[in-house]
């Protein structure tokens, strides 16, 4: 069985909003004696959160491609913000 991986990075300064990004890939118990492998990326900030997970309709490669698309979109957005003056 593969190794479990989990990581959380806080997005705000201490004492401010509780924003974070958390990633998880590993076994999780759902109910009694029902361990399943789950994979997800979760982003939270204040009162909102979104979790993108590897669903039964996706392959591992599909999920990796989703994560790469998200990364690319965020990178392009950051380039826009860095080049824009208000």
State the pTM of this model.
Answer: 0.84
Q: Distance between CA atoms of 39 and 16, rounded to whole angstroms? A: 28
Q: How far is CA 43 from CA 64, 69, 78, in A?
A: 17, 15, 17
Per-residue pLDDT of the chain (86 residues; tens, 9 = 90+): 678 999 999 998 887 778 999 999 999 887 777 788 999 999 998 889 999 999 989 999 999 999 999 999 999 999 999 999 98
Residue with the two structure tokens 């300064």: 13
Same domain, 48 and 66: no
| Domains contained in the chain, number | 2
d(CA 21, CA 24): 10
* Cα–Cα separations (whole angstroms), residue 39 to 11, 17, 51: 21, 26, 10
Contact (Cβ atoms closer than 8 angstroms) between residue 60 and residue 53:
no
**Per-residue model confidence (pLDDT) at position 35:** 81
Give the range of the structural domain holding residue 13, as residue numbers without chain letter. Answer: 1-53
Q: Is residue 5 domain-shared with residue 37, that is, in the same domain?
A: yes
């Amino acid at each position: 069985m593969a190794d479990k991986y989990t990581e959380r990075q806080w997005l705000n300064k201490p004492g401010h909003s509780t924003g974070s990004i958390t990633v998880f890939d590993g076994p999780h118990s759902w109910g009694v004696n029902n361990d399943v492998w789950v994979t997800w990326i979760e982003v939270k900030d204040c009162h909102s959160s979104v979790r993108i997970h590897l669903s039964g309709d996706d392959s591992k490669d599909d999920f990796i491609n989703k994560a790469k698309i998200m990364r690319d979109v965020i990178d392009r957005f950051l380039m826009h913000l860095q080049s824009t003056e208000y």
